[in-house]
């Protein structure tokens, strides 16, 4: 049973809405209509490109829940940043015809934050918690009974004045997203009935995503240009869309055009110091550092200190792609450059 102490009696309880990052799915839909690239999320499963197996199995689970008029089982989505976990969670709520509430685990600091969130839910609604591996212990403990029995077990007050109270909750769906599955405790992980790993995208899928977004924002993107962009987007839609924005800026400001061909892509990426493999300045700095120091494995912290960068940023942003393209291996003793990685960094590859 989680202890809320006397917080629950204070004037800030339940928490004010603005203390939490909660967005109604209607607001997100309106943002979709703005044609702003940041908010141009797919609105249906059909518009969500790739991840076919995941969509098929979610489709069955969603249709079965709708048939039984029940909330969807709690769902865990995990995978690298930018692969579409938030988007998929939003689409699940859309397909379930229900409201989507979004919160980020680091913002749920006090037990009363999660209590307020849970008490604000209605039957069948979706609560999405991003970075769920970062929940603190008390919050996590409160979630156990909320997820399993749709019940909150609270202890209010302290010592001899403590009172226990049980509050029944509506049947809701918790969707958790994480980049670090291994950091989620087993009791929390076990309470998710559905668990899906979001994979990197193929170049064809990224090409499709890029083309769809170009249409949405009235850019004419030549096929070759879109394919070249897909190739360097690290299997990640967020990176593809970010690069597309930079290329759009370059085309509109320097070339005064909305037409993007391969030449514009090359020039725009060169101006951003992104090379033909999609590696940027930091990737090359990382590879060069290993190349200089590396005949034996080097630990992540030593690399981070040597480069003056944050180690988790290197671990989650820089390294996955370098491993994916075969330039880097992780061993129990540290990071090692592969011969492919060595060859690449020793040839001059700064240009797209």
Strand partners, 151: 168
Q: Please identify which residue in 20, 78, 85, 118 interacts with ligand ADP, judged by CB under 6 A.
A: 85
Cβ closest to ligand ADP, residue 24 vs residue 263? 24
Quote the radius of gyration of the chain (alpha carbons, Å): 23
Neighbours of 90 (CB within 10 A): 25
Name every residue whose Cβ is closer than 8 Å to that of residue 33 and which is 6 or more positions away in sequence: none
Omega within 30 of 0 (cis) for the link into 14: yes
Q: Is 44 a catalytic residue?
A: no
d(CA 270, CA 305): 28
Residue length of the chain = 352
d(CA 268, CA 273): 9
Q: Is 130 a catalytic residue?
A: yes
d(CA 35, CA 300): 40
Are 170 and 14 in contact by the 8 Å Cβ rule? The answer is no
Residue whose beta carbon is closest to ligand ADP: 84
Q: Please identify which residue in 99, 134, 231, 238 interacts with ligand ADP, judged by CB under 6 A.
A: 238
Tell me how far, at minimum, the Cβ of 40 lies from ligand ADP, in Å.
7
| Residue 234 sits in the site that holds ligand ADP (CB under 6 A) | no
Alpha helices in the chain (DSSP H): 25-33, 52-68, 85-95, 111-119, 137-149, 186-190, 203-216, 223-231, 237-253, 262-271, 281-293, 300-307, 311-313, 319-324, 339-346
d(CA 136, CA 23): 22
| Residue 327 sits in the site that holds ligand ADP (CB under 6 A) | no
| Residue 226 sits in the site that holds ligand ADP (CB under 6 A) | no
- Considering only residues 165 through 194, tell me which ones interact with ligand ADP, judged by CB under 6 A: 177
Classify 330 in phi/psi space as left (phi over 0), alpha (psi -120 to 50) or beta.
beta
Q: What are phi and psi of 304, to 5 degrees?
A: -60, -45
d(CA 212, CA 214): 6
Q: Which stretch binds ligand ADP (CB under 6 A): 46-54, 184-192, 254-262, 311-319?
A: 46-54
Cβ closest to ligand ADP, residue 94 vs residue 145? 94
Q: Please identify which residue in 28, 62, 83, 229 interacts with ligand ADP, judged by CB under 6 A.
A: 83
Tell me how far, at minimum, the Cβ of 50 lies from ligand ADP, in Å.
5
Q: Please identify which residue in 3, 31, 32, 41 interacts with ligand ADP, judged by CB under 6 A.
A: 41
Cβ closest to ligand ADP, residue 231 vs residue 245? 245
Q: Please identify which residue in 25, 86, 211, 214 interacts with ligand ADP, judged by CB under 6 A.
A: 86
Is the Cα torsion angle 95, 185, 132, 169 positive or negative in sign?
A: positive
Q: Is 87 a catalytic residue?
A: no
| Residue 245 sits in the site that holds ligand ADP (CB under 6 A) | no
Q: Which stretch binds ligand ADP (CB under 6 A): 78-86, 95-103, 276-284, 314-322?
A: 78-86
- Fill in the DSSP letter of residue 159: G
Cβ closest to ligand ADP, residue 28 vs residue 142? 28
Q: Of these residues, 41, 238, 245, 266, which one is catalytic?
A: 238
Q: Is 86 a catalytic residue?
A: yes
Q: Please identify which residue in 4, 15, 20, 48 interacts with ligand ADP, judged by CB under 6 A.
A: 48
Tell me how far, at minimum, the Cβ of 132 lies from ligand ADP, in Å.
12
Are 68 and 95 in contact by the 8 Å Cβ rule? The answer is no
| Residue 81 sits in the site that holds ligand ADP (CB under 6 A) | yes
Rounded to the nearest 10°, the torsion over CA 199, 92, 127, 135 is -10
Cβ closest to ligand ADP, residue 51 vs residue 145? 51
| Residue 25 sits in the site that holds ligand ADP (CB under 6 A) | no
Q: Which stretch binds ligand ADP (CB under 6 A): 8-16, 85-93, 263-271, 298-306?
A: 85-93
Binding site for ligand ADP (CB under 6 A): 41-42, 48-51, 81-87, 177, 209, 237-238, 241
| Active centre residues (catalytic) | 85-86, 130, 179, 238
């Amino acid at each position: 049973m989680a202890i809320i102490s006397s917080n629950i009696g204070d004037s800030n309880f339940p928490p004010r809405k603005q203390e939490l990052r909660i967005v109604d799915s209607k607001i997100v839909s309106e943002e979709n209509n703005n044609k702003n690239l940041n908010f141009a999320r797919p609105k249906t499963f059909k518009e969500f490109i790739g991840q076919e197996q995941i969509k098929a199995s979610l489709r069955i689970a969603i249709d079965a829940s709708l048939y039984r008029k029940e909330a969807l089982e709690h769902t865990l989505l995990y995978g690298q940043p930018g692969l579409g976990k938030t988007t998929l969670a939003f689409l699940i709520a859309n397909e379930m015809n229900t409201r989507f509430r979004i919160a980020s685990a680091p913002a749920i600091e006090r037990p009363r934050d999660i209590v307020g969130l849970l008490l604000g839910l209605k039957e069948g609604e979706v609560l999405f918690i991003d970075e769920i591996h970062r929940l603190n212990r008390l919050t996590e403990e409160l979630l156990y009974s909320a997820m399993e029995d749709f019940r909150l077990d609270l202890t209010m007050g302290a010592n001899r004045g403590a009172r226990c109270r049980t509050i029944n909750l509506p049947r809701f769906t918790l969707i958790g997203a994480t980049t670090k599955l291994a950091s989620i405790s087993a009791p929390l992980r076990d309470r998710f009935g559905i668990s899906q790993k979001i994979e990197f995208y193929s170049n064809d899928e990224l090409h499709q995503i890029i083309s769809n977004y170009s249409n949405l924002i009235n850019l004419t993107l030549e096929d070759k240009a879109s394919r070249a962009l897909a190739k360097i987007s690290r299997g990640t839609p967020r990176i593809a869309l970010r690069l597309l924005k930079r290329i759009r800026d370059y085309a509109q400001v320097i070339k005064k055009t909305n037409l993007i061909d391969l030449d514009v892509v090359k020039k725009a990426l060169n101006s951003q110091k992104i090379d033909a493999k999609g590696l940027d300045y930091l990737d090359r700095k990382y590879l060069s550092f290993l190349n200089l120091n590396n005949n034996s494995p080097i630990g992540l912290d030593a690399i981070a200190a040597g480069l003056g960068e944050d180690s988790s940023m290197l671990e989650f942003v820089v390294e996955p792609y370098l491993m994916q393209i075969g330039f880097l291996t992780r061993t129990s003793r540290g990071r090692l450059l592969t011969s492919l990685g060595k060859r690449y960094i020793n040839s001059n590859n700064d240009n797209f």
